[in-house]
Structure 1
Amino acid sequence: MGPYILRRLLIMIPTLVVISFIIFVIIQLPPGDYLETYIAELESQGEWVDPQQIRMLREQYGLDEPFLQQYWTWATGMLHGDFGYSFEYGLPVTEVVGDRVFLTTLISICTILFTWMVAFPIGMYSATHQYSWGDYGLTLIGFLGLATPNFLLALVMLYFANVTFGTSIGGLMDPQYLEADWSWAKFKSVLEHLWIPVVVIGTSGTAAMIRRLRANLLDELHKPYVVTARAKGVPPFKLLCKYPLRVALNFFIADIGNMLPSIISGAEIVAVVLSLPTTGPILIAALQSQDMYLAGSFLMFLAILTVVGVLVSDIALALLDPRIRLQGGASR
């Protein structure tokens, strides 16, 4: 296991280098840059733009340098914690992001836990009580979860939380904590507001996982080794957890690599509707305004999550399923 992890960590280095280059190419593909967009916006409002000042800004931020030089400056800066400068906010990227990465990560982790805690027992019940009234009812709820858009559910939950609990979700915390330093009171305020975005974002993923777990578990429950274990008198719950469920969980573990970035990048619309101070709305705004260093930093963050998530899922699969071997090749 140790040599495999070390080899994968070494492979991650050139992988992230290639990804960073592709990201930089993509964010440079649209014609022009942020300054040109900013000039066009000012001129459309009838304001005068000083060409000398624009030229100084291009020289200051290296926008007049060759493409490879700009990429080298950005890539080497990330190694030292310098992710570039956000033209839109007039601040370094690290200061713009601030607490947003922490809040985004917190929401993502809580959403994954919520998804698994709800999907596991429901999927197990539906598989072991196939075609029962409970199975039909849970299937109907699952289909409703898949069919309901997250932004619509977010609007409903906003009204429900405000009317029933008197909780205003906008900002993910009470207004007095928006600019305050982190404290236990601020963290409690975040936890008070956290449950609604977790439920909204996790609903569709939970419904999908319930259907997949039910299908995989039903497939395993009809295999000969399960029939043999039943014939030997293995208790039903022990049999379910020790063999079929363990095999059926493989796809849950394999999805870790895709789940982390998909939750973070797939919640932008919900974040806009709920006014969440997460990375999603900033990423959309950065792409629209061609704030390339801010957008590139977010995309690199998603790439790192994907690479690390795939590594974690591969290691967890090897620990969960004895049929999986990390060293490759045929075994006797």
Structure 2
Amino acid sequence: MLMYLARRLLLMIPTLLIISALIFIIIKLPPGDFLSNQIAELRAQGEGSAMERAEYLRHQYALDRNLIEQYAIWMGFIPGPNGFAGLLQGDWGWSFEYNRPVSELIGDRLVMTAVINFFTILFVYIVSFPIGVYSATRQYSWGDYGFTLLGYLGLATPNFLLALVMLYYFNIWFGMSIGGLVDEHLIDAPWGWEKFKSLMAHMIVPVVVIGTSGTAAMIRRLRANLLDELQKQYVTTARAKGVPPMKLLVKYPIRMALNPFIADIGNLLPHMVSGSVIVSVVMSLPTAGPMLLGALQSLDQYLAGSFLMFLAVLTVFGMLVSDILLALLDPRIRLTGGKAK
């Protein structure tokens, strides 16, 4: 297992490097950049001092160099002008739109995004696992039909529409402020028990809204996998030998049916960030999604690149976690790449 972990961790390095190069190329594909557009606008307005500031930033962050040099400086492979260190040395660059360092902008948003993701994943697994097992073991019962109907409704209902409905009723029933993750008077307040309670209360709506579609999909997937396992010969043989139903269900079919369930962790982590952009905009959530969308629209390359690299790290790390859990869960998966020991 230790050798497997070492190989996977070493493989993550070239994987992230390739992803970083693709991210940088895609960001640079649209013509111009934020400062080029700003300079063109300032020239039209005849503002010389602001133009000098924009030209200084172009040189400061190497936007006046070729694409390969810009990428190497952004990653930190070569030293940049005026002390720009690059990602590998913890310098995430400058946000031209907000006129602030990227590290000062995304820190709180990444923390809030991570908190929402954590509770959303817990919600998805806690709700979908028992429902999926119940639907598979009681196929074609009224409960199965009811959960199937709820699953289809969860898949068919747009997240932003569900967000608007829940915000309205939570405001009517519980008097909760609409949007955000804390009450308005606590936004700039230091963290304390009151602000924490407000955060937990406001977390309910975004967690349910963002996790609804994922929960519905997980229920359908687990039900189908478990039904397939329950129809196999080893289950029939175990029943004939008198193995108790609950012991049989937990020891064999559920473990085998969980393989795709666990494998989805790799896709679930980044999806919770990138897939909830519209919901975050509708609910005014201070998360990574809305700022990433704005950075891509304004060609704020260092801000957008930092968010996209964060998503890449989440994806690679999620794949690593899912592979390790699969190896521990299913003895048929060999860590030696299919070679017999």
TM range (shorter): over 0.9
Q: Residue in 2 aligned with 1:321?
A: 330
**Cα 1:245–1:94 shift into 2, 3 Å:** same
Separation in 2, partners of 1:18, 1:143: 38
Separation in 1, partners of 2:169, 2:26: 41
Gaps of 5+ in 2: 77-85
Q: Residue in 1 aligned with 2:83?
A: none
Once the two structures are TM-superposed, the CA of residue 221 in structure 1 deviates from its matched residue by: 0.6
Q: Residue in 1 aligned with 2:206?
A: 197
Identical pairs, percent:
65
Which deviates more, 293-302 or 59-68?
Answer: 59-68
**Residues 125-204 of structure 1 mapped to structure 2, 5 A cutoff:** 125-204=134-213
Q: Residue in 1 aligned with 2:315?
A: 306
Q: Residue in 2 aligned with 1:120?
A: 129
Which residue, 276, 279, 302 being the options, matches 2:288? 279
Contact 1:104 1:278 in 2 (8 A): yes
Aligned: 1:107 with 2:116: yes
Gaps of 5+ in 1: none
Q: Residue in 2 aligned with 1:8?
A: 8
Once the two structures are TM-superposed, the CA of residue 42 in structure 1 deviates from its matched residue by: 5.5
Once the two structures are TM-superposed, the CA of residue 19 in structure 1 deviates from its matched residue by: 1.1
Which deviates more, 23-32 or 227-236?
Answer: 227-236
One-letter amino acid of the counterpart of residue 27, structure 1? I
Which residue, 255, 258, 278 being the options, matches 1:269? 278
One-letter amino acid of the counterpart of residue 175, structure 1? E
One-letter amino acid of the counterpart of residue 48, structure 1? G
Which deviates more, 223-232 or 49-58?
Answer: 49-58
Separation in 2, partners of 1:143, 1:5: 39
Q: Residue in 1 aligned with 2:20?
A: 20
Q: TM-score, normalised by structure 2?
A: 0.93
Once the two structures are TM-superposed, the CA of residue 146 in structure 1 deviates from its matched residue by: 0.6
Once the two structures are TM-superposed, the CA of residue 24 in structure 1 deviates from its matched residue by: 0.9
- Secondary structure of the corresponding residue to residue 99 of structure 1: helix
Q: Residue in 2 aligned with 1:37?
A: 37
Q: Residue in 2 aligned with 1:250?
A: 259
- Secondary structure of the corresponding residue to residue 176 of structure 2: coil
Which residue, 242, 248, 252 being the options, matches 1:233? 242
Q: Residue in 2 aligned with 1:224?
A: 233
* Aligned residue-pair number: 330
Separation in 1, partners of 2:110, 2:329: 31
Separation in 2, partners of 1:142, 1:243: 26
One-letter amino acid of the counterpart of residue 59, structure 1? H
Separation in 1, partners of 2:296, 2:328: 40
Separation in 2, partners of 1:98, 1:276: 15
One-letter amino acid of the counterpart of residue 118, structure 1? V
Separation in 2, partners of 1:310, 1:16: 13
Residues 212-247 of structure 1 deviation map (CA, whole Å, 9 limit, x = unaligned): 111111111111111111112222122111111110
Q: Residue in 2 aligned with 1:49?
A: 47
Once the two structures are TM-superposed, the CA of residue 38 in structure 1 deviates from its matched residue by: 2.5
Q: Residue in 1 aligned with 2:61?
A: 61
Contact 1:37 1:289 in 2 (8 A): no
Contact 2:178 2:283 in 1 (8 A): yes
Once the two structures are TM-superposed, the CA of residue 41 in structure 1 deviates from its matched residue by: 5.1
Residues 9-52 of structure 1 deviation map (CA, whole Å, 9 limit, x = unaligned): 11111111111111111111110110122245557xx7433244
Separation in 1, partners of 2:27, 2:191: 34
Separation in 2, partners of 1:234, 1:164: 50
Contact 1:39 1:49 in 2 (8 A): no
Separation in 2, partners of 1:112, 1:53: 44
Residues 38-72 of structure 1 deviation map (CA, whole Å, 9 limit, x = unaligned): 245557xx743324443223222321122222212
Aligned: 1:294 with 2:303: yes
Separation in 1, partners of 2:194, 2:68: 47
Separation in 1, partners of 2:257, 2:148: 19
One-letter amino acid of the counterpart of residue 183, structure 1? G
